[in-house]
A and B are shown apart, each in its own frame.
Chain A
Amino acid sequence: MSPVARNRLIALGALLVAGAGLGFVAFGNIGENLVYYWSPSEMLGQGDKAYSATIRLGGVVEAGSIQWNAEHTTLQFRVADDVKEGAPSVLVRATETPPQMFRDKIGVVVEGTYDKSGVFSSNRLMVNHSNEYRAPKEGEDPRQWQETLSDATAMGAK
């Protein structure tokens, strides 16, 4: 075989391998085994499997559920499937300072363990941002917004 033909055969082989690999990743079911987080309803649906293993729980912070105890520096809130009222939710207790954007109805992912008392103890609290970027509305100042946020979470303790 001439070197040119050999190289073309190699190219074809490499492309086939690459295509098969990509097809497997895209259309295979590996996503089911590589779930980054469970939603509250999925986690609750796992039964005993959800207990005591380190897992990630993702959803939105249920409106009005944030409770900040300044004395014991504990943070409690409920993570719900979505912002609709009555969506399945899980009580989360976190020991970490939340990121600045943490507030009602924002997307969060928490890492920790769920126990039989129905409390998810989080040792890592992450906030996820949407793909929207907007200018502040009239009269809104992003810095002020953050301050009112911390006031709001402090108010929850009362």
Chain B
Amino acid sequence: MGKFIKWGLPALALVVLAAGWWLGLVWAPPDREMGDVQRIMYVHVPLQWVAMVAMAINFVVAISYLMKASWKLDAAAEASAEIGLVLGTAGMITGAIWGRPTWGVYWSWDPRLTSQAIMLVTYTGYLVLRRFVEDPEKRATWSSVVAIIGAINLPIVWFSVRWWRSLHQVQSTPKTVDPEMTLALRVSAFGMLFLTIWFLVQRYRQALAERQAEVALPDALPSDLAAAGGANSSRVA
């Protein structure tokens, strides 16, 4: 299993992603109105989907942590929020690049774009909070609260195009997208999902190792050696 995650998973992700992007960029037809610009869909949409998946994982593990505290869950929460933020930011950037030639603007304060911006700021705040709180237990508890409340952004972003008038179009379905394009999009999305899972596992392992080091040897941390009293200095409230 360890070997698969180290080599097999990234290889699988890259192969599937390459296949999906080849299908999207070469094999699938261009859009009859937008032309080749539409092909950025095969990057933008998978990024937004997997960002949502990562953030949904963050919500679930945050609740789980409060139900049954464990460093594994806290490490998973940190990993999923970070990766969700990176993917969501990449999704927003690719969306802006797509917006310029089609809408005519990179950005407009429409409900979808605004709610996504709020969502990204929320997860940035979540990660900032984590860095500020030194006590691992308080950090895990407090950040779980932020994660649970912050997760309301997910349905808001998803439904924003249906609830309010927006510049961004509503979700497409296989009925509104030609089959070749749908296939290319699905393959790209699975590639992106595998890549995300690999990122999550890597980041989770790092976070867990950090957590275990923090709780096992608080006095051995360099900052503690430098501090005056030593023994109790990691208890910064």
Q: How far is the CA of A142 from the CA of B41 in the complex (A)?
A: 17
A15 touches B103 (CB 8 A): no
Could you show 8 A-B contacts with beta carbons less than 8 Å apart? Answer: A18-B152, A26-B155, A99-B102, A131-B172, A133-B177, A134-B33, A134-B178, A135-B31
Contact among A58, A96, A135 with B32 in the assembled complex (CB-CB below 8 Å): A135
**Least Cβ distance of B49 to chain A in Å?**
15
- Is there an interface contact between B164 and A128, defined as CB atoms closer than 8 Å? no
- A128 and B167 form a contact (CB under 8 A): yes
- Assembly CA distance A131 to B168 (angstroms): 9
B-side interface size class: 35 or more
Q: Are A25 and B152 in contact (CB under 8 A)?
A: yes
- Please report B residues at the A interface, Cβ cutoff 8 Å: 29-36, 38, 41, 63, 65-69, 101-105, 108-111, 141, 144-145, 148-149, 151-152, 155-156, 159, 163-173, 176-178, 180-181
Report how far A109 CA is from B65 CA in the complex, Å: 45
> Nearest residue in A to B179 (C-beta to C-beta)?
A135
Give the contacting residue for A11; candidates B36, B38, B110, B144; CB below 8 A.
B144
Distance in angstroms between the alpha carbons of A86 and B165 in the assembled complex? 23
A127-145 CB contacts (< 8 Å) to partner B: 127-137, 140, 142-143, 145
- Residues of chain A contacted by B69 (CB below 8 angstroms): 3-4, 7
Q: For B36, what are the chain A residues with a Cβ–Cβ distance below 8 Å? A: 142
Interface centre among B69, B101, B148, B166 (most CB of A within 10 A): B148
**Which residue of the partner chain A has the closest CB to B30?**
A142
Known contacts A7-B66, A101-B33; decide if A128 and B169 are in contact (CB<8 Å). yes
A125 CB within 8 Å of chain B: yes
Q: Does B155 contact A22, Cβ atoms closer than 8 Å?
A: yes
The residue in chain A whose Cβ has the minimal distance to the Cβ of B66 is: A11
A18 and B148 contacting across the interface, CB-CB below 8 Å:
yes
Q: Which listed residue (B29, B103, B165) contacts A35, Cβ 8 A?
A: B165
- Closest 7 pairs (CB-CB, A-B): A99-B104, A11-B66, A135-B29, A142-B35, A14-B148, A136-B32, A131-B172
Once bound together, how far apart are the Cα atoms of A109 and B111, in whole Å? 14
Distance, CA A128 to CA B66, complexed state (A) = 44
Q: Which residues of B contact A143 (CB under 8 A)?
A: 35
Tell me whether A117 is interfacial, beta carbon within 8 Å.
Answer: no
Report chain B residues within 8 Å CB of A21.
149, 152
- Specify which of A25, A26, A96, A132 is in contact with B172 (CB 8 Å cutoff): A132
A142–B152 contact, CB under 8 A? no
Please name all residues of chain A whose beta carbon is closer than 8 Å to the beta carbon of B67 when the two chains form the complex: 7-8, 11
Judging by beta carbons under 8 Å apart, are A18 and B151 in contact?
yes
Contacts of A36 in B (CB 8 A): 109-111, 164-167
Contact A135-B35, Cβ < 8 Å, known A18-B151, A22-B152, A34-B164: no
Q: A84 near B: Cβ within 8 Å?
A: no
- Kindly state the separation between the CA atoms of A79 and B71 in the bound complex, as whole angstroms: 58
Docked Cα-Cα span, A8 to B64, in Å, equals: 9
Q: A98–B29 Cα gap in the complex (Å)?
A: 25
- Interface membership of A10, Cβ < 8 A: yes
Q: Which of A7-42 contact B (CB under 8 A)?
A: 7-8, 10-11, 13-15, 17-18, 21-22, 25-26, 31, 34-37
In the bound complex, CA of A55 to CA of B163 (Å): 20
Name the one of B29, B34, B111, B163 contacting A129, with C-beta atoms under 8 angstroms.
B34
Cβ contact within 8 Å between A132 and B167: no
In addition to A101-B102, A126-B105, A142-B32, 8 A-B residue pairs with Cβ atoms within 8 Å of each other are A7-B65, A22-B156, A36-B165, A99-B102, A102-B104, A131-B169, A134-B33, A145-B35
